[in-house]
Amino acid sequence: MTDRSVACRRPAALGLVLAAAIAACSGVDDPGELGVAPQESGEPAATSRLAQIRVVVQPPGEFAGDEPALEVSAVFAQYRGYDEAAARTRLDLPRPPAERMRPGHCAPSDQLLAADEPVSKDSSSSARELILLDAGNLGVTIGEAAIDVPLALLPDLVPNISGVTYTYLGDSLPAGAWPPGEPAPSELVVRVDGEGDELPGFTLRPRLPEPAALTGSIDRGRDELRLEWRPGAREPLVLRLASLIGGEPVGEELTCVTHDDGSFVADLDELHALGLDAGPGTALRIAATRSGRTVFDAGEFVGAEAVVEVRTVTVLPP
């Protein structure tokens, strides 16, 4: 994956199945191809574990487009015969953009969906499996709203992959989730009932990042995109840029990473070279995402992660 600097200047559950299917069709499941962890001849492959809980929140009153205002997903996977990069590809758990690009750089969002981590080879295919475990009931409390996250059985589309996944998508935030006039809900709690000693029940209280309060403008005279927001976290801010004509997206969506210092200025010509259609008559939708990551242990799942993202959206008129 190739990213590119955009001359940033500072003034003074279905997706999981598709990811697995694409990986399978691309040849990584064939003997001798990429994505399989090496093992000693005659010895069974070791079992590894990978778990992630992800919560994405968009404050009320933001332009939503076709994205949910609240998204919760969770997977608790054990796998053998694959390396971690290949398992993440099949689970649709790519590394976040802030870990894949340097601040001040942009790339087409589709490129970030491709797996570009180096992976290893193996000639054996008989002992590969990826199982998504049932962790019992999973619930999320945000503000004063409680949500039960549904569990769904994976369809039998890809060999060696089975189990269940958790997904909740809400077009709007439930009542009480975001107190009126408050910068953010006071609390976020994730509760998992668990299933046995391998994955016992647990409760998490991950940090909920504050929204970025994004504003911006397009300076046609200087051919510049200018964005401002309330500075915040040490972690980089992730921007997604998409052009709209009549409310419908056109051209490439770009993902940019920048320091969370309150300002971002980019050259329109360089954004256009990456595929963004930012010409006259085109509106620009910009989403700014702050994220927080909590690492936790639960039974045999060591180093699992809870990722919380808060997305702020603005649309710049033509």
Q: What is the pLDDT of residue 58?
A: 92
Nearest one of 91, 90, 92, 82 to 112, comparing CA atoms: 92
Q: What is the pLDDT of residue 43?
A: 59
Nearest one of 262, 277, 134 to 201, comparing CA atoms: 134
- Using CB atoms within 10 Å of the CB of residue 173, give its burial: 0 to 12 exposed, 13 to 18 middle, 19+ buried: buried
Nearest one of 5, 2, 1, 3 to 267, comparing CA atoms: 5
Profile the chain (318 residues) by mean pLDDT over runs of 10 residues. Answer: 52 41 37 43 74 94 78 96 88 89 93 58 63 96 95 84 95 88 82 94 94 91 93 90 90 95 94 88 92 95 96 90
Q: What is the pLDDT of residue 180?
A: 78
Question: 3-state class of 22 per DSSP?
Answer: helix
Region of 74 (left: φ > 0; alpha: ψ -120 to 50; beta: rest) is: beta
The token duo for 145 is 């709203």
Task: Please work out, in degrees rounded to the nearest 5, the angle formed at the alpha carbon of residue 241 by the alpha carbons of 234 and 72.
Answer: 65
Instruction: Give the predicted TM-score (pTM) of the model.
Output: 0.83
Nearest one of 38, 115, 42 to 80, comparing CA atoms: 38
- Strand pairing category for 301-316 and 48-57: parallel
Percentages helix, strand, coil for the chain (3-state, rounded to 5) are 10, 45, 45
pLDDT in tens, 262-311: 999 999 999 999 999 877 788 999 999 999 999 999 999 999 999 999 99
Q: What is the pLDDT of residue 2?
A: 53
pLDDT in tens, 192-235: 999 989 999 999 999 999 999 899 999 988 999 999 999 987 88
